[in-house]
Structure 1
């Protein structure tokens, strides 16, 4: 019996990723382009760019042409280094990330200790901490950020691809010590595109036997979607159509399958995954 596939309304690249990829590809038509780190967190997309001659570098020492700053942004000092070396560059930082950077800078200038809810190792979070200055810290739990005395004036923002319920839980934990603060500011820096996908993914998980999230294992928002869907049903991350096979027991017996994607998954990859699902007996 053929499986019924229910696709999310919003699939494929988000506007920020689409802008980064299109801008970089357009520039590469006329000059060598080097991306400082992976342009987006999807190996398939990075491989496509490399096939066009767009190389990934991890140091400006290796730049031999136009440098593309990734959609996740970079610390401010990178811009100074580019200018000092006389390197031309294109800035594909997502506008939502750039706004969060500006918020972090503003809060720091107002004297707040800035807390970024997010993965300290993520490129975006590193850029936010750089803008927030020395009086800042990032983490995914209150205990990982504060181990002693709490600051009197505290500002909280988040990695843009986190989900609202995660941020709410984090803030709620902090507010159990509300009497220890004099002033608290909460800045909403969440991506609306990720939020919409999360809401629709939850609906899919509640109305299908299984949800397939098409995304890269290194993609923060793709992993968040899987975790969120598993609160309502069953979901798994799929990075290519090769992962769709008859040995996947839950998929083999499922009659209805929901499909959503991370914000850095190209439409052609999603179509390949859907075709593979529909071909299963």
Structure 2
């Protein structure tokens, strides 16, 4: 593919390239955080409330306890990515399983699974996540599980709709005719043909998971053993007038990450749905 042809694809747009670059930078920061700060983000390395750009040792300043803001941001990236990716993966696995069974079997099984799906969709997502984390006690595993619980229903409905449109196609009927087991038809024949919308939806789910985790940490429901962007915003809130950078920097990190994910998601959407490409 030539450079000119690449620029005409969704991935060749400047905003998408910027989004990809930002995500790669965040991923690199998360991966190399232990190498750059082997002692972690917790040790005090300077005077509390050192302003940004005043010291080469702490270029973005220090927090209320003298901890390096840069170290907090890098380790916070690790937490955000782990929670977002793990919760999305779990939600997709559950949603695909339930949606595939409901859409292929239909009948009373479909009705039962869809009623269960509706039960999980009834409460507001954020309130539901808060309730689950409070019940399970704040931890990374509890946060991942809670976000996955509120995220799988849209995937289940999407996969169900795709299966209902594909279950009577010729390639599926021929598989039934030769005696292919239903499980193999579901996962080897139909599922690969309906993964495109799932991949597109997963980008939105990752961005939503980042925001949900940040919101939980801001409310004090994050894992107390790790540092996260939402928790950093909460730590800086009492000093918002005297040291606004404590909340501004992690807030910018959350904002930029979500925007970058949405830009990449837009490219995914247009890649798998050519009808939506701009002319």
Select the structure of larger CA radius of gyration.
2
Which structure shows the bigger proportion of residues in strand conformation? Answer: 1
Q: Same fold (TM over 0.5)?
A: no
Which structure shows the bigger proportion of residues in helix conformation? Answer: 2
* TM bracket, shorter-chain basis: under 0.3
Provide the TM-score with structure 2 as the length reference. Answer: 0.24
